[in-house]
Structure 1
Amino acid sequence: MEQPIIETHGLTKYYGSLKAVDNLHLSIGKGEIFGLLGPNGAGKSTTILMLLGLTEPTSGEARICGLNPSREPIPVKRKVGYMPDNVGFYNELTALENLLYIGRLNGIPEQQVKSLAREMLVEVGLETSMHKKTGTFSRGMKQRLGLADVLIKQPEVIILDEPTLGIDPAGVRDFLELIRQLNQRQGLTILLSSHHLHQVQEVCNRVGIFVGGYLLAEGNIETLAANLFNTAPHVVEIMLQTAPAQAAVPKQDILALPAVRNVTVRDNVVEIAGGQDITPDLVRFFVSKGFDITGVQKKNYGLNEIYHRYFENNLKEDVSNEKSTGLFQRSFFSRFKKR
C-alpha cells in the first residue's frame, strides 16, 4: 500500500484549557482532494497550522510528504503550498511583478522565474491580466493569483483554507473547476478547508467532518451515507396528483411491505424509507389503492443531510453525557469559539 502523503496520529492541540483539536487520526493519499468540513471554530485552521509546522501540537504527530512538520518545518514548506483565506499582495505591483517577487523569495533561479511566473498565470486563467495592478483585482482574481503564488514553487501538496470566502457564485464555480483541473493535470494532493457543504461535495473525493475539535467521520459521500443511514438507506418519494388527507394514506399497510422502515407525508408527496429498493412494489401498491401518481424519485443523501445528521447525533450524545454533570452548557458554547 502506498504511503499516505498526509497523515496524523493522535494529533491534539490545547490553547490553555481549550482543546482545539482532539486526538486526530487522518490519512490522505497522493492525488486526493480531501475536504475538511466544519463550522467556524471547529479546529480546521489549527489542524492546518500544525501540518505546516506553524504551531506545535500538544501531543500526537503529523507527517506530510514523509516529513514531521514540527521538526522539519523548512523542508515541509518546500514541498507544500499554503493559501490562507485572505491572500495579501502589493497593490501597486502588477500580477506578474507580484509573482516574480514571490518566485525569487522561494529561491527560483533568475533565468527561470519569469517564464515560470507567466506559465502559472496562464494556468490560473490570468494571462490577460498579468500586467494589471493587483489593486484593481476583484476578490476572485486575487484568489486566482493566490493560487498561482502557491503553484510557482511547484509543490507536491497544496492546502487551501476557506479559498472561496467572499467570492460571488460564478467565481466560486470557476475556482472549484480550476482546483479540479489542477488535480487532474498535475496529480496534486489538495487539502481544502471549508464550512460550505455544497462546495466541498462538488470537488472533494473524500471529506472529514469536524465539530468542536473532533473528527466525527471521514470518507466519501456514499460511505458516509451508508454508515449513517444503514437502517433505511433507500428513500423513495411518490408524488401524487392531489394532496391526500393524512388519514387517507394507508401508512400501516405501507409499513407492512418488505423492508419499509418509515413513512412521511408532506402535502402531495409520500416519502418512504427502507432497507432495500422496492420502488416497483410501491408504485403498484399506490395504483392498487386508487392514487394517481405524477412522479417517482429515488432520493440520494447529499453532504447536507449527512453533515447535519452527524452533527445532530453528536450533540445528542453530548447532551446525555453532560447534562448529569452540569457541563452541557459550557461544553456546547465552547465548541463554537474561534479556534
Structure 2
Amino acid sequence: MKSENQKAKLLYIEKYLRENTDENHPVTTPRLIEYLDSKGIKAERKSIYSDMDLLTAFGLDIEKVAGRSGGYYLASREFELAEVKLLVDLVQSSKFITEKKSRELIQKLELLVPHHEAVQLQRQVVVSDRNKAVNESIYYSVDTIYAAMSGNKTVRFLYFEWDENGKQVLRKDGSYYEVSPWLLTWDDQKYYLLAYDREAQIIKHYRVDKMLHLETGKDARAGREAFEQIDVASYGRRMFGMFAGQPRTVRLAMPKSLAGVVVDRFGNDVPMRLLDEQTIAVRAEVSVSAQFFGWLAGLGAGVRIIGPDDIAAEYRNYLSSILASQ
C-alpha cells in the first residue's frame, strides 16, 4: 500500500540531491532508498533509475558514477560555492545590513549549496564587533521606495540624526518629509535615495537607514525634468560621503603615483595629463565641501588645487582653520 508521501517521491529525491550531493559526494541507490523509507516512501532500484531519468528529462543536471561505490549527484546548480562565498562576504561587510539580518541572510545562502559545503560558509561568518546598521526596517524601506517609484508616487518618512549620546533625534521637530523618489544609489556601503524636494525645487539625497516609518504618499511624483538633467553616472563620483556642496570643475596637481587613486575616485575617463616627469594635472567635477577638502588633505602635501583660485583659497582657509583649532 502506498503511503501518503508517495506522490512526493520525486520532490524528496530532488531535495536530497540538492542538499547532499556533488561530484565528490554521490549518493548510492541503497542510501537513497533508505532515505526515502525514512520519509515513509517505498522505492525499489528500478523505480530509482526511472526517477533519475524523469528528473533529468525535467532539466536537472544529474550525473551517474559507475561502480560499486558510485551513485548519482547533482552536477550543476544555480550558484557555485565560490559565488555563494562572495555573496556571504558582501553580506558580512555591508554596513547597512544589521548583524541579526546578516545571520538570517547567510543561513538562507547556505541553502544554495550542499550541507557539507555550507560548513565552509559558517566558518566565514564573523559579523560581531562590526559597525553594522541598527535600523532593521531598511530592507522594507527599499521595497517601499521601489514600489513608490514604480507607481509614480511620493514617499513620506521621518528622518533622524545621532546626538552626542548616540541617541536618535528626529529632524524637522518630528515632522514628516515628503519627497519624490527617483533613484536609489550606493556610496560607502550605504543606500541613498535621490529625490526631488517639491518645496525647495531641487534634487536632494537621504540615507535610507536613517528613515523611519516610511510609506508611499498619495501624490504623483514631481521633478522629472530636474532629475533628467542630472548625469547619474558622474553624480556619485563628484560627491564625497554624499555630502552636498557646490558643483564645480576643479583642477588638481599631484604626484603621478596617485593616478590610480584618481581613477578609483572619478573613473578612468577623468582627464589627466603630465605637468612634468613626476607630476600630473587632473580636472574633475566635484561637489566642493569639507569632505572633499578632507579627501585632498588625506592624499598628502604633494596635492594642490591649481584652479579655480577661489576654491584654492577656500582649501587653504580650511587647512588653516584646522591648524588654528589644534
Q: TM tier, shorter chain?
A: under 0.3
Structure 1 length normalisation: TM-score? 0.24
Structure 2 length normalisation: TM-score? 0.24
The structure number with the bigger radius of gyration is: 2
Higher relative contact order (CA 8 A, sep 6+): 1
Counting helix residues as a fraction of each chain, which structure ranks higher? 2
